[in-house]
Amino acid sequence: MSERTLLIIGAGGHGKAVAEAALLSGEWQRIAFADDRWPGLSESFGWPVVTNLAGLAALEVQVAGAIAAVGNNAVREQWVKAIHASGLPLVTVVHPRACVSAAATIGAGTAIMALAMVGVDAVIGEGAIVNANATVDHDASLGDFAHLGVGVQLAGGVKIGARAWLQAGCSAGYRVVVADGVVCAPGTVLQADVLVGV
């Protein structure tokens, strides 16, 4: 079996975590990073930084897929657009110690990190992040480019809008709806029947 190389856009902390998850998953054997700090930045997590964003298209024959790995939702959306424009396949990375229901729908370009749980009939959009130890329970939804921080807990049926960011330790009870683009501070408790930012 030939070795598969994953291109990770963003060589910072989240990029390193995505690289580790990808390698542990067994689906990827090699990592290459793209980062606009290149060529000054030449290495991250023991793997090479090979180009900046402007050079993505030149890598089409060298890598099997790409993912944007940065916590900032707006930046991640722009990087996903750059991946699409380059012709590279946009791929999802799931840490092997995450628990993802076979009945969940996961959008391309999403990162699901260690000890995360995605339940039955949950729907995760494109380019989203479900960070370490976060829960998206049954029938909940996470919009495109939304971000659940470490330890965020969503009860069944919760709806999180596109580009929303629930920072570390937030929790959302049943029937909570969070509008597009809303940012919730760490530890925020969202009560049932509350429409946040709607």
- Domain with residue 71: its CATH number is 3.40.50.20
Length of the chain as a residue count: 198
Evaluate whether residue 196 is within a structural domain: no
Same domain as 58, residue 20: yes
Evaluate whether residue 195 is within a structural domain: no
Per-residue buried b or exposed e for 5-27, using 16+ beta carbons within 10 Å of the residue's own CB:
bbbbbbbeebbbbbbbbbbeeeb
pTM exceeds 0.85, yes or no:
yes
- Domain with residue 147: its CATH number is 2.160.10.10
Tell me which amino acid residue 141 is: S
Q: pLDDT tens for residues 104-154?
A: 999 999 999 999 999 999 999 999 999 999 999 999 999 999 999 999 999
Same domain as 183, residue 126: yes
Q: What is the mean pLDDT of the chain?
A: 95
User: What is the reported pLDDT for 175?
Assistant: 87
**Domain limit, last residue, from 69, 91, 113:** 91
Evaluate whether residue 59 is within a structural domain: yes
Same domain as 99, residue 86: no
Same domain as 75, residue 16: yes
**Domain limit, last residue, from 61, 91, 121:** 91
Tell me which residue range forms the domain holding 49. Answer: 5-91
Evaluate whether residue 54 is within a structural domain: yes
Q: How far is residue 94's CA from residue 17's CA, in Å, rounded to a whole number?
A: 11
CA angle 111, 115, 120 (to 5 degrees): 75
- Residue 17's pLDDT band (cuts 50, 70, 90): very high
**Domain limit, last residue, from 91, 112, 147:** 91
Q: pLDDT tens for residues 30-83?
A: 999 999 999 999 999 999 999 999 999 888 779 999 999 999 999 999 999 999
- The total number of structural domains that make up the chain: 2
Same domain as 141, residue 161: yes
